[in-house]
Amino acid sequence: MRKRMVVAAAALLLATCALAQSRGKPEPQRVAVTMRNIRYHYTGNIAVHIFELSGWLTPTGEHAFPIFDDNRSFVLHIAAARMAITTDAMSNILNDHVFAAPDAPLKKISITASGNTLRIKGKLHSKGDIPFEEEGVLSLTPQGEIRIHSQKVKAAHLPVKGLMDLLGVNISDLVSTNKVRGVRTEKDDLLLNPQEILPLPKIEGRLTGIQVQGSIIVEHFGQQIPAMPPGNYMTYRGGRLRFGKLTMDDTDMVLIDMNPQDPFDFFLSHYKEQLVAGYTKTTPAFGLRVFMRDYNKLGKRK
């Protein structure tokens, strides 16, 4: 009997310690986010047009909460979104980010579109910088990857797709993507992971639809997007968020376009310049309404 009591007491002690440890590690701060009609810059020449987006920010690594000034401190989780990227911006993503390493297999890539077909030009760097051209049909895999299925391939301006088929050679035999993050080959297909190919801040979300409209690739994430009020803005609510020298608890911050006639041109790495060019109002509940000038209009203002 006494032995059973000792075992029970020990089990209770272990459970109490585990509970204390779990309480000592609070859940990551989560900040709800909505965006509407935003031209969101990742770099100077990589931007996406966000028509609507709903999701949340969570901190990464050792960060206790998201820090607006550090794009490594948080992940943007997309619950639902509709956004677009131009073929020029997609070319820049591949050149400046995905295949930027000196030993990357592809270089000097340019992309144009015709219907649902992409025409890709570049150089096979791993094969002595041989120029190539490819025509591929754009589609989506069940896992949410972007698939480009090759239909025509030219190398050094000579048709090679027929010869490749005759010899039993695939795109995956010519292009090794083992060391390239966010890209892989599968027979005659090039597959891009939309969560991995973009620069920071990192995004997470399931791509559920994709289509080409002229020179623009439209992407749908998640399911139905909730109804949003009109305007060009970004809202951040709940949790804890650092914004410059200000740290907000139970965050209530809205970034608003000062020039709503066109999309809100926003560049996270230069938001301070946009902030200085605008003005801020405080609500009775100590929320912030930040009116910002478009990034692409800062030079005109000067």
Q: Are 251 and 234 in contact (CB under 8 A)?
A: no
Least confident of 12-26, 49-63, 250-264, 266-280: 12-26
Detail the DSSP E strand segments found in the chain.
31-43, 46-59, 74-86, 106-114, 117-124, 130-140, 146-155, 158-159, 183-186, 189-192, 202-204, 207-213, 216-222, 233-237, 240-243, 246-249, 252-257, 264-267, 279-282, 288-292
Quick one: average pLDDT of 234-238?
98
Per-residue confidence (pLDDT) for residue 2, from 0 to 100 = 47
Distance CA 163, CA 173 (A): 13
Distance CA 108, CA 198 (A): 18
Residue 200 domain-assigned (yes or no): no
Distance CA 108, CA 121 (A): 8
Q: Tokens for 115?
A: 């219907």
pLDDT band, very low/low/confident/very high, at 20 (cuts 50, 70, 90): very low
Whether residue 93 is found in the same domain as residue 183: yes
Pairwise pLDDT comparison (238 vs 122), residue with the higher score: 238
**pLDDT exceeds cutoff 90 at 123:** no
Per-residue confidence (pLDDT) for residue 169, from 0 to 100 = 41
Least confident of 74-78, 113-117, 121-125, 167-171: 167-171
Q: Tokens for 91?
A: 């070319």
Whether residue 60 is found in the same domain as residue 121: no
Residue 213 domain-assigned (yes or no): no
Distance CA 120, CA 132 (A): 8
Whether residue 229 is found in the same domain as residue 295: yes
Least confident of 142-146, 180-184, 198-202, 282-286: 180-184
Burial of 184 (0-12, 13-18, 19+ CB in 10 A): middle
Pairwise pLDDT comparison (80 vs 170), residue with the higher score: 80
pLDDT band, very low/low/confident/very high, at 55 (cuts 50, 70, 90): very high
Residue 250 domain-assigned (yes or no): yes
**How far lies 85's CA from each of 68, 69, 220, 268, 270, in Å?**
23, 24, 12, 18, 21
Per-residue confidence (pLDDT) for residue 134, from 0 to 100 = 86
Whether residue 155 is found in the same domain as residue 237: no
Question: Of 151, 178, 194, which closes a domain?
Answer: 194
Quick one: average pLDDT of 56-70?
95
- β-pair partners for 162: none
Whether residue 237 is found in the same domain as residue 250: yes
Quick one: average pLDDT of 178-198?
88
Number of folded domains in the chain? 2
266-280: burial string, b at 16+ Cβ within 10 Å, e else: bbbeebeebbebbee
Whole-prediction pTM value? 0.85
Share of the chain above pLDDT 70, in %: 82
Q: What are phi and psi of 265, to 5 degrees?
A: -85, 110
Whether residue 282 is found in the same domain as residue 294: yes
Q: In 3D, which of 269, 293, 300, 218 has the Cα closest to residue 45?
A: 269
Cis peptide leading into residue 105 (ω within 30°): no
- The CB-side HSE value for 29 (13 A sphere, CA atoms) comes to 23
Whether residue 78 is found in the same domain as residue 113: no
**pLDDT exceeds cutoff 70 at 143:** yes
Whether residue 188 is found in the same domain as residue 109: yes
Quick one: average pLDDT of 49-65?
96
Distance CA 21, CA 16 (A): 9
Please give the torsion angle defined by the CA atoms of residues 92, 94, 95 and 96, in that order, rounded to the nearest 10 degrees.
70
pLDDT in tens, 192-211: 999 999 999 999 999 999 99
Q: In 3D, which of 131, 93, 129, 130 has the Cα closest to residue 111?
A: 93
Quick one: average pLDDT of 177-206?
89
Residue 207 domain-assigned (yes or no): no
Share of the chain above pLDDT 90, in %: 66
Kind of pairing between the strands at 252-257 and 246-249: unpaired
Residue 295 domain-assigned (yes or no): yes
Domain coverage including residue 101? 88-194
Whether residue 83 is found in the same domain as residue 227: yes
Whether residue 82 is found in the same domain as residue 108: no
Q: In 3D, which of 294, 241, 292 has the Cα closest to residue 68?
A: 241
